[in-house]
């Protein structure tokens, strides 16, 4: 065990230490991976070194390196090494964190971590929830709890309506679908010039739905959209929810951790009024996949929706002040996600984490300043929470389709090199290049490099056209 374990530690440490020398992404198509990897299990065992070699040669090279300083797409995950070790420990001990008595120690760690998150967001005491596989699972948990709170017997299901902005993450939509809300009862409320939900439009939509005999029940606000980092006007949305008796859910998957910085806390004002919040520690709290979190202002709402007491679990019923996390969500058997969060946060301390978050925000602002200084680029959405949207717009190119096509080619060229991973998006129908600067080992030098690559791609397009 020790020999193999040390071997794997060396492999992972070497991988992380040499990230800069590796491509940010490398992929194969299915025919090639199948040729390299597919094969039946054998009746006899195989030497560990031989298996490791197989993985290192045929499997591991073909992936996008999320923690790479040139991974600037989607919302990246760049775990700390103590967080990785926390996951290994949870796996090694194989904790069953579904019920209290069989993992009371690790379960207390989860309660501690949930309470840290509550405090960071300024939510009232008593707020709690559970850690999940990710943000999608957290949001689904919230939507199911909200639906149960509004419609215990399911009689009203066909009339329930969910509201999000047209910039909300698709996981909100999918959660509503899975929760049984009719697909025609999802409202994508229009956003303002800063991609924030228009509260007047929300009010009108709620009013129109009530007039049509429907039952508005949940608003899914965003605190850091995936597209642009926009934060909906949370305070105003909280007012609407309170007046209309609607469940206020906030998707703060990555943006919520910005609450640790003074500027982020200001931007997130109002989040403390939510009925439930999604957080994704595997995004911007520097822990590895998988780790999401649902916080509920009244965790009894989770219990009412999810707890079930079969006779074979009588021995492990939670007593007063104990928590069976299986009663807070969909999973019975679950590992301890909390250990990696606790280990990383305690190892580095909040100051270091705050600093890493602030640097992530600043790198996007630095990229924005650099691009604004050039006449051939335009900012489509300013840097917010480490996300920047922009496009090349050389003089003389004004046609919308031409601009889209040009920027698509730039995106393909920069990503095609394998040196960087950016992920594009569309904003109001316009193709946008997009940089995400959350990876903690990224520097301003890395921003200079990616911008140089983007400029070179633009110049080669201009020359060849």
Ligand X SMILES: Cc1ncc(COP(=O)(O)O)c(C=O)c1O
Is the Cβ of residue 114 or residue 392 nearer to ligand X in the bound state? Answer: 114
Instruction: Confirm if 197 and 165 have CB atoms less than 8 A apart.
Output: yes
- The four Cα atoms 55, 56, 60, 61 give a dihedral, to 10 degrees, of -140
The pairing of strands 387-392 and 377-384 is: antiparallel
Is the Cβ of residue 409 or residue 438 nearer to ligand X in the bound state? Answer: 438
Q: Which stretch binds ligand X (CB under 6 A): 128-136, 349-357, 399-407, 432-440?
A: 128-136
Task: Write out the binding residues for ligand X, residues 75-94 only, by CB under 6 A.
Answer: 75
Angstrom distance (rounded) from CA 306 to CA 326: 8
Q: Which x/- pattern over 285-304 shows residues binding ligand X (rule: CB under 6 A)?
A: -------x------------
| Torsion sign, CA atoms 444, 228, 273, 233 | positive
| Per CB under 6 A, 169 contacts ligand X | yes
| Per CB under 6 A, 253 contacts ligand X | yes
Q: If 0-12 CB within 10 Å is exposed, 13-18 middle and 19+ buried, where does residue 296 land?
A: buried
Among residues 73, 79, 135, 270, the one that binds ligand X under rule CB under 6 A: 135
Is the Cβ of residue 329 or residue 458 nearer to ligand X in the bound state? Answer: 329
CA angle 107, 137, 165 (to 5 degrees): 130
Shortest Cβ 419–ligand X spacing (Å): 24
Q: Which stretch binds ligand X (CB under 6 A): 76-84, 247-255, 310-318, 371-379?
A: 247-255
Angstrom distance (rounded) from CA 208 to CA 389: 34
Q: Which stretch binds ligand X (CB under 6 A): 91-99, 251-259, 385-393, 430-438?
A: 251-259
Shortest Cβ 131–ligand X spacing (Å): 12
Is the Cβ of residue 72 or residue 457 nearer to ligand X in the bound state? Answer: 72
| Per CB under 6 A, 136 contacts ligand X | yes
Is the Cβ of residue 74 or residue 93 nearer to ligand X in the bound state? Answer: 74
Shortest Cβ 91–ligand X spacing (Å): 19
Radius of gyration of the chain (CA): 24
Task: Write out the binding residues for ligand X, residues 262-281 only, by CB under 6 A.
Answer: 280
| Per CB under 6 A, 73 contacts ligand X | no
Is the Cβ of residue 56 or residue 170 nearer to ligand X in the bound state? Answer: 170
| Per CB under 6 A, 171 contacts ligand X | yes
| Per CB under 6 A, 173 contacts ligand X | no
Among residues 251, 327, 446, 461, the one that binds ligand X under rule CB under 6 A: 251
Shortest Cβ 171–ligand X spacing (Å): 4
Angstrom distance (rounded) from CA 158 to CA 277: 25
Angstrom distance (rounded) from CA 160 to CA 185: 7
Angstrom distance (rounded) from CA 315 to CA 13: 43
Is the Cβ of residue 336 or residue 425 nearer to ligand X in the bound state? Answer: 425
Residues that bind ligand X (CB under 6 A): 75, 134-136, 169, 171, 224, 226, 251, 253-254, 280, 292
């Amino acid at each position: 065990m020790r020999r193999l374990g040390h071997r794997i530690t060396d492999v992972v440490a070497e991988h992380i230490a040499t990230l800069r020398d590796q491509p940010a992404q490398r992929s194969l198509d299915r025919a090639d991976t199948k040729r390299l990897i597919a094969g039946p299990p054998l009746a006899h065992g195989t030497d560990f070194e031989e298996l490791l070699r197989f993985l290192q040669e045929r499997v591991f090279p073909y992936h996008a390196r999320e923690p790479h300083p040139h991974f600037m797409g989607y919302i990246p995950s760049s775990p700390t090494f103590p967080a990785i070790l926390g996951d290994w420990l949870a796996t090694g001990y194989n904790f069953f964190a579904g019920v209290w008595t069989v993992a009371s120690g690790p379960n207390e760690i989860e309660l501690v971590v949930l309470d840290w998150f509550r405090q960071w967001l300024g939510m009232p005491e008593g707020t709690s929830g559970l850690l999940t596989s990710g943000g999608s699972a957290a949001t689904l948990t919230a939507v199911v709890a909200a639906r149960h709170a509004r419609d215990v017997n399911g009689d009203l299901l066909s009339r329930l309506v969910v509201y999000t902005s047209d910039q909300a993450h698709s996981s909100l939509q999918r959660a509503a679908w899975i929760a049984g809300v009719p697909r025609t009862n999802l409202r994508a409320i229009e956003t303002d010039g800063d991609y924030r939900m228009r509260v007047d439009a929300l009010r009108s939509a709620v009013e129109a739905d009530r007039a049509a005999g429907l039952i508005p029940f949940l608003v899914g606000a965003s605190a850091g959209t995936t597209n642009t980092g926009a934060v909906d006007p949370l305070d105003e949305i909280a007012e609407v929810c309170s007046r209309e008796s609607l469940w206020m859910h906030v998707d703060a998957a990555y943006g919520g951790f910005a609450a640790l910085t003074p500027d982020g806390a200001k931007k997130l004002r109002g989040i403390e009024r939510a009925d439930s919040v999604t957080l994704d520690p595997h995004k911007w709290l520097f822990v590895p996949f998988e780790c999401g979190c649902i916080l509920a202002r009244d965790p009894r709402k989770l219990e009412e929706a999810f707890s079930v007491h079969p006779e074979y679990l009588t021995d492990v019923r939670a007593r007063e002040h104990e928590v069976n996390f299986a009663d807070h969500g969909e999973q019975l058997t679950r590992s301890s996600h909390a250990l990696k969060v606790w280990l990383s946060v305690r190892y580095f301390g909040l100051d270091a984490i705050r600093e890493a978050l602030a640097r992530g925000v600043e790198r996007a602002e630095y990229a924005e300043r650099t691009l604004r200084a050039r006449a051939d680029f335009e900012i489509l959405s300013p840097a917010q929470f480490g996300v920047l949207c922009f496009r090349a717009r050389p003089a003389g190119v004004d046609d919308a389709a031409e601009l889209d096509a040009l920027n698509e080619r730039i995106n393909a060229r920069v990503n095609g090199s394998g040196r960087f991973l950016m992920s594009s998006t569309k904003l109001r129908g316009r193709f946008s290049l997009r940089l995400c600067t959350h990876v903690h080992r990224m520097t301003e030098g890395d921003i200079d490099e990616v911008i140089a690559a983007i400029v070179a791609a633009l110049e080669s397009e201009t020359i060849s056209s």
